[in-house]
Structure 1
């Protein structure tokens, strides 16, 4: 059978089983293993097993359950409440200030725990009722929470970045460093959007009346709420940037910081540890199956010798190397609307990365573009994860249609940020080059 027919049969089988609604990880791994058996025989399984064994021996992989455990603990402490009160006192007197402050808090959460769901649920529970009560337009408030929550996979530490590094072989530490400035850029772009829109439409996000604004002594006292988050961020990111720890050791430092936070807020007890541990075991087990599927798919794809064929197709795209990169971004954006980020990673990275490297582009820079697309995908209808996280905590009066409508301008902000980083790669590449 020719390469073209083999590739068509392989990806056609994947699409068929996905349409049936089967879990992507098991479809990808199962179809790959069956394909390997009927094309290369039972000996091909040794290739998958050896690759998987090599991955399991990788010390960096230990960071994943540690970061998940840290996130599960922080989700149950009072950090989010204290941060929101501080932000409310400082930003409440500005038009759109509560929305901007909410995005800032989501960025702080992102720098602590590395997943998006924690910030979305926390701000949907704490910030959304406060903004609606103060007369904020519901679409502006919902959109700010959605895009802020997505920062959890862009601002380090990030579990998606760890998986990207495991699949592509790039440095986890460099990926973490590369995500810092792009994450801050998106926070600034969202703040500019909110301020400009509120300047022309002040009724969308009114400022607090003067009698409800905090005094300067109250504002300064509230700054104590950021001490623990800063401690955790310094323990995780600071220790990596200063060369004191590896990403895995920094994850352990983050767990210590989360436990200290739980003790300070008097939430440290056996129930907290038990619930956080059970959810960590569940998520880590799922990630192990994802890695198995990734290796099975990679082995099957390489055995087809389809790389040359895909590269030939990419050469037909107008615009040269940059046309190819833009086409990849469009593909990732469309896939993110219907698939989860890990599934997209499993399907596209074995195909895209050799092409990216052959065209002379930095895989770290491409990794940041990939993660930003996944961040946008977290809030893009119809299947963005953050949309459903938020629906689970909003008042019954807010419909799914309201949530869908709220994200459209923020998606455009994300695309603008993506375009800026494409035009100025140094935003992503300068810090990892300087630190490492």
Structure 2
């Protein structure tokens, strides 16, 4: 029995990976692994682990923001605001080489600031932007990579669902995490844009400017800008209410839903039929997220019970290089898990295990939380199970092979690694805004 106990943490991960490779949904893979090992280790008396984990998730006030932000993102999709944002911004950037790809990055950031849902960004941009890029003969890998990278900015640009989950799990202020995510997101956006411009001007055929006959007049540009005024007001309402302390992130999500419905009704883009469909779709997506959180909570409880947390802590403490060795171990741990796990499940599993180790090593919890989020954003692009890859695949169907999608992520993953290095060596680059708002 002692031998089984010693190898239980490793066995849990092996069983989890087997289930994932067999195609079992992540939520049920996590829950099944946790329940099976609980029964093996402690018998039927352990059955309460699943129900207690479910209750803890359902009873967490911070997590109420998740269904609200999901509902908000689906309302935006139904009201065609994403399409209008894209058209407005690319009218202004069309004369610039790489303008369409830059538009994708900027619109991805705006979508992230409105809804915080990565799937909405990647799928929406894939359907709207990719045909335009192919029409103007953009390099295919640059096009695909920019859509996946731009769509995942919702992970860093607040409000972010994953930041809400991380804050609920670790006790880090969600508002401060939002502010730090904004700083990290701006750095990432600038580096993405720099890379696109570099490619466009060193390889002119990879991202050409729009032909003169396809460019619009200044008057048309100004008229198209009107379409982004209301969404920008919505961003200010949501983030402003959170950053100023007027509203908690959960209350801010409520403000966002109300603002989205109001915009949709005033512009006659939403009717009761679309709102009802949005409620139904958001309920399905919320249910999926809830099952992931419940499964991860069950897995985490059993993993901790069999000594998994202590095992990881011991491995980290024996890493050479002192606290920097601990940091490298922690980053490697998250990056490897990110290749296989859905991001919310990854937070539920890794944050309670690795965060105490990092804090004990002497690192700032908020700085680490922001760094964790940047690495988590990279997990959306990291093969073999990067979710942004599969979101885009669902949008493009058989037109693009999965191999091309994999290779298109590589330059953007390298840029994200560069941002990780910047945050490690220049911590103030991401902590200045949270520190300023806390004064």
TM-score, normalised by the number of residues in structure 1 = 0.92
User: How far 1:247 sits from its partner (Å)?
Assistant: 0.7
8 Å contact from structure 1 (residues 167, 294) kept in 2: no
User: How far 1:93 sits from its partner (Å)?
Assistant: 0.7
Aligned to 2:246: 244
8 Å contact from structure 2 (residues 157, 185) kept in 1: yes
CA gap 1:194/1:244 in 2 versus in 1, 3 angstroms: same
Aligned to 1:405: 407
1:303 to 305, 327, 330: 305
Aligned to 1:393: 395
Aligned to 1:223: 225
CA RMSD of aligned residues (A): 2.3
CA distance in 2, matches of 1:31, 1:397: 36
Aligned to 1:374: 376
Aligned to 1:426: 428
User: How far 1:150 sits from its partner (Å)?
Assistant: 0.8
CA gap 1:42/1:186 in 2 versus in 1, 3 angstroms: same
CA distance in 1, matches of 2:163, 2:112: 13
8 Å contact from structure 2 (residues 316, 330) kept in 1: no
CA gap 1:394/1:317 in 2 versus in 1, 3 angstroms: same
User: How far 1:302 sits from its partner (Å)?
Assistant: 3.2
User: How far 1:34 sits from its partner (Å)?
Assistant: 4.1
CA distance in 1, matches of 2:31, 2:355: 20
Aligned to 1:281: 283
CA distance in 2, matches of 1:181, 1:30: 39
8 Å contact from structure 1 (residues 293, 346) kept in 2: no
Gaps of 5+ in 2: none
Aligned to 2:102: 100
Aligned to 2:31: 29
Deviations 1:302-345 (A, max 9, x none): 33344443322223322221222223222322332232212322
Gaps of 5+ in 1: none
8 Å contact from structure 1 (residues 353, 363) kept in 2: yes
CA distance in 2, matches of 1:58, 1:245: 17
8 Å contact from structure 1 (residues 77, 261) kept in 2: no
8 Å contact from structure 2 (residues 121, 151) kept in 1: yes
CA distance in 1, matches of 2:43, 2:392: 47
8 Å contact from structure 2 (residues 69, 115) kept in 1: yes
CA distance in 1, matches of 2:130, 2:67: 30
CA distance in 2, matches of 1:372, 1:195: 23
2:287 paired with 1:256: no
CA gap 1:395/1:277 in 2 versus in 1, 3 angstroms: closer
CA distance in 1, matches of 2:414, 2:302: 37
1:293 to 292, 295, 309: 295
2:6 to 4, 7, 26: 4
1:342 to 341, 344, 347: 344
CA gap 1:144/1:47 in 2 versus in 1, 3 angstroms: closer
CA distance in 2, matches of 1:179, 1:412: 19
CA distance in 2, matches of 1:161, 1:417: 18
Aligned to 2:132: 130
CA distance in 2, matches of 1:22, 1:124: 26
TM-score, normalised by the number of residues in structure 2 = 0.91
Paired residue secondary structure (2:296): helix
User: How far 1:237 sits from its partner (Å)?
Assistant: 0.5
User: How far 1:260 sits from its partner (Å)?
Assistant: 2.2
